[in-house]
Structure 1
Amino acid sequence: MNPLRTITAGVAVAVASVILAQPALAASFQRDVGDGIVRYADPTNEVCVRADDTTGTAWVEVTLTRPGVIGRPIVIRDDNIRHPGATCEVLTAFENATYQADYESYWSGRGTVLRGTFRFTT
């Protein structure tokens, strides 16, 4: 095969791959936080918190802050008694913003609060 044709075909395939590629949704996640989950959907910039649907009372509270940025934290709380399902909040920050999530979760069967922290980027 002619080297020029090979190069032209390779460039055409590369350009087509870039044009047809779907946008990356690498920031979306679902994370277990003890007695519930925290879920982030990148396409909608929505964070949802859901306490486990279990015997007894369970709740999860997540406080979102932006490290190094002054401002009010976003607090999302969900429980399985008064609010079955998830409680959600849309983040209005710019793309590629880093958040720190400090969470607490509780289940009455255990009787103690679990705590933890993780970071994610929108």
Structure 2
Amino acid sequence: MKWSKNATIGIPVAHGQLINANLSSLLRPNSVIVDHMGNIYMWNERNHQITRWLPGTTKGVPVVGGRNAGSKSMELSYPFDLSFDRQGNLYVVDAGNDRIQKFIIDRD
């Protein structure tokens, strides 16, 4: 939910109910972060991926990982947290693989 100053109701910015219906669905979303352009990045508890929600859209787009856990360079296993550095690189705590991964993501 997005809350404007002095608001009495919030504005949903990302939502969903179904798990694995498609890779943009949400169920138990975690660790949300917003970049300098207003894009929302989050991970789902049940999908091994990071999803980006552009401002004004109703559907997320997977940017890293996928439906199943993996240990290859573009795969994740139970991502836990995320952060950006000053250059806009995305860092992901890949808990299931005991590593922290850095991703240079497409900003378009």
TM-score scaled to structure 2, two decimals?
A: 0.35
Does 1 or 2 have the higher relative contact order (CA < 8 Å, sep 6+)? Answer: 1
Bigger helix fraction: 1
Bigger strand fraction: 1
Larger radius of gyration: 1
TM-score scaled to structure 1, two decimals?
A: 0.32
